[in-house]
Amino acid sequence: MSSLRNIVITGFMGSGKTTVAENLAQRLGREFVDMDKVIEARAGAPIHQIFAERGEASFREMERTLALELALRRGLVVATGGGALIADDVREMLMQQCNVYCLAVNKAELGARLANSPQRPLAAGWSALYDARKPIYARIPRQIVTAGKSVDMIAGEIAALERGALYVKTPAGGYLIRIEAGILSRIGREAESLGLDRQVAVITNETIAPLYGELLTEQLPNAQMIVVPDGEAHKTLATVSQIYDSLLEMGADRNTVIVALGGGVIGDTAGFVAATYMRGIPLVQVPTTLLSMVDSSVGGKVGVDLPQGKNLIGAFKQPRAVLIDTEVLATLPPLQWRCGMAEVIKHGLIALPGLLDADLWGKERAEQLVRQAVQVKIDVVEIDPYEQGIRAHLNLGHTFGHAIEKVTGYAVPHGEAVAIGIVRAAQLSRNLGFITDAVLARIQKIFWQIGLPTDIAVDRERWYAAMATDKKWQAGESRLIVLKRIGQAAVVRGLSKDDIMAVL
């Protein structure tokens, strides 16, 4: 117990720090410290009186002294005062010594709450204070968005983070990725803290419904399944429309939570529904394929296909949470596993060479594999949430691969096409002098070991023509991702047709 880092909960006044910290302390069986209460006890006066009689500066000094004391202790859950972490030195020191979480509350919500707490000394000028302090709070990396969440949910999220859940920072705050074998079998016990104790629509397909859909809905107090046909062919507006109908029929409103249970097709389709139904309702992603666990469920891109092309209709919709149960991979067909591995290898090549270690590739180490592979996606989407820069690196091999899918009428599965495409990109990298023949050979061998092809017999002219229609090629200028070395990708523009044909 005493070796545990303190957990510090901070945020603007009225953000709910104290109730959340108290709830969290109870969950974790830790001692709870309310800084304001300790200061009041020491001063023998309520805070507004300390402010009135001794001035704010003297209150801040008491706060600083207490923060230093607490930083030396272990195993506490601390609720700070609203202004405690505004001083750079105090904030930096606590962030070094403790796990600091900031409750991010939006202004409208806060206004409503503060309207009836006149006893807070700074409540009168809260609006200007909020604007002034917001950028300072934003310097705390772990932001917990509170909008629409109960105290139980917020404390539950922080508890999950403390147990090793991953965190994705987004422009509006952030969300959690919980990777736990067996989490779906335990979901009933956590319904409240996951916010799944209200009306839930579990959207899934005919294959997954009998495997995991019932397991999920049976444990939740108020959940219904919406089952759509399986396959990319059904990632359409027609399916979206069918889901809207089902939602209306079940009386879904803006508080209804959509759970997308399935691979990338379900995640993209149900995610698009969540982005648009009543202008947007909460979404929880429960990915069940390796690809969706390490790639599509994270980053907020959702959408459907049109007859004219894939993913032409879409939106950015950040999930409220991503729940990954690696046990479901037991039923994943081997081809789907291999296809997911193509993306894992891609993540290894662009950012994390450790993923290229064959010891990590078995289903028995899935938890570790997924955790590392998804971290690459997190790092990229945090820097570039709207795909304006570095997120393009995730397209390694994909312009080549998409063209193969197109030319073969989607007879070649995506992961296989990507494997073939990554090897083309690697050849290009070699031709450009970035990597050696030996590295190229190593990449090829990795795919063979996994059971993925690295070559295909298609007409080169048609292959090139399909690549040239890629939506990422701007104004006809080629734009491809290459490897500078293993673990680092780069964008190369304006290569000639000859340069590209040389690797097809």
Ligand X SMILES: NC(=O)c1ccc[n+]([C@@H]2O[C@H](COP(=O)([O-])OP(=O)(O)OC[C@H]3O[C@@H](n4cnc5c(N)ncnc54)[C@H](O)[C@@H]3O)[C@@H](O)[C@H]2O)c1
Residues contributing to the site for ligand X (CB under 6 A): 205, 207-208, 211, 230, 232, 235, 262-266, 268, 288-289, 291-292, 295-296, 299, 301, 310-311, 328, 331-332, 336, 339
Closest separation in Å from C-beta 388 to ligand X: 15
Catalytic residue (choose from 6, 23, 205, 395): 395
For residue 402, indicate whether it is catalytic.
yes
Active site residue 48: no
Residue 322's beta-bridge partner residues? 177, 285
Task: Using the minimum distance from each CB to ligand X, give the nearer residue, 162 or 268.
Answer: 268
398 is annotated as an active-site residue: yes
Please tell me the distance from the alpha carbon of residue 394 to that of residue 405, in angstroms, as a whole number: 18
Q: Which of 176, 141, 167 is nearest to 286 (CA)?
A: 176
Q: Tell me the residue nearest to ligand X as measured from the CB.
A: 264
**Torsional sign, CA 342, 299, 429, 311:** positive
Secondary structure in 3-state letters for 238-281: HHHHHHHHHHHHCCCCCCCEEEEEECHHHHHHHHHHHHHHHHCC
232 is catalytic: no
Q: Which one, 239 or 336, has the nearer CB to ligand X?
A: 336
299 versus 421: smaller Cβ distance to ligand X: 299
Catalytic one among 178, 320, 414, 424?
Answer: 414
Q: Is 347 assigned a catalytic role?
A: no
* Annotation marks residue 6 as catalytic: no
Closest CA to 203 of 109, 312, 281: 281
CB 328 → ligand X: shortest distance, Å? 4
Q: Which of 91, 149, 320, 377 is an active site residue?
A: 377
Q: Measured from the CB atom, is 14 or 303 closer to ligand X?
A: 303
* 377 belongs to the catalytic site: yes
Is 279 among the residues known to form the active site? yes
- Rounded least distance, CB 247 to ligand X, Å: 21
The active-site residue, picked from 48, 113, 169, 391, is 391
Closer residue to ligand X (CB): 266 or 322? 266
Measured distance CA(292)–CA(377) in Å, rounded: 11
Distances (CA, A) of 189 to 133, 162, 185, 215, 221: 38, 18, 9, 13, 11
Is 91 a known active-site residue? no
SS3 23: helix
Helix (H) or strand (E) holding 304: strand 301-306
Query: Which of 30, 178, 346, 402 does the annotation list as catalytic?
Result: 402
What SS3 class is residue 220? coil
CB of 293 to ligand X, least distance (A): 9
In this structure, the strands spanning 173-179 and 143-145 are unpaired
Q: Please give the positions annotated as active site.
A: 279, 301, 343, 377, 387, 391, 395, 398, 402, 414
